Amino acid sequence: MRASDVETIEAGRLTEARLIEMVFPEQTNHYGTLYGGQALALMDKAAFIAASRYCRRTVVTASSERVDFHVPVRQGQLVELLARVVATGRTSITVEVDMYSEDLLTGERQLGTHGRFVLVAVDVDGRAVPVLPLETAVAVDSPPHDP
């Protein structure tokens, strides 16, 4: 691979991340629906990826705020997680995560769970470090959005 084939995506440029997972039997309870803890773990993972790509630093989860479970997610369904950076503090990044369930065969899809997570950027010693403000990053570095 030539150096010209490599793209570097700077901090502040990406504010979204998407993950798709399949729900398997070991992730479900006796009703055949996704354990709430499994849903939270998937959502935290998506929030971590969105925050890490946004700030290009090591991040740790500081809190999960309100999480609403709208409908159960069933074994055999896909889950698509959409994580969006919605705010920044001096060292923190707030990420909203929507988890959609999708029937693999019919294509029917619905919002299953919504939550907010706060992550903090840290240095190698675990001390909080500043992150780029969201307003600046979006205004300066974001490519135009296609509808």
What is the rounded average pLDDT for all residues in the chain? 89
pLDDT tens per residue across span 92-109: 999 999 999 999 999 999
- Which domains does the chain show, CATH number per domain? 12-139 (3.10.129.10)
The pLDDT of residue 146 is 35
Distance CA 36, CA 121 (A): 26
How far is residue 90's CA from residue 73's CA, in Å, rounded to a whole number? 36
Distances (CA, A) of 130 to 47, 108, 114, 144: 18, 42, 27, 26
Sequential DSSP letters for 100-136? EEE-TTT--EEEEEEEEEEEEEE-TTS-B-----HHH
Q: Is the pLDDT of residue 138 over 70?
A: no
Q: Which residues pair with 33 in a beta bridge?
A: 74
pLDDT exceeds cutoff 80 at 140: no
CB 139 within 8 A of CB 131: no
Q: How far apart are CA 42 and CA 114, in angstroms?
A: 12
pLDDT above 90 for 139: no
- In this prediction, residues 63-83 reach a mean pLDDT of 95
Residue 141 confidence (pLDDT) above 90: no
17-29 confidence digits (pLDDT tens)? 999 999 999 999 9
Q: Is the pLDDT of residue 67 over 80?
A: yes
Quick one: pLDDT at residue 85?
A: 96
Least confident of 52-66, 69-83, 122-136: 122-136
Beta bridge partners of 131: none
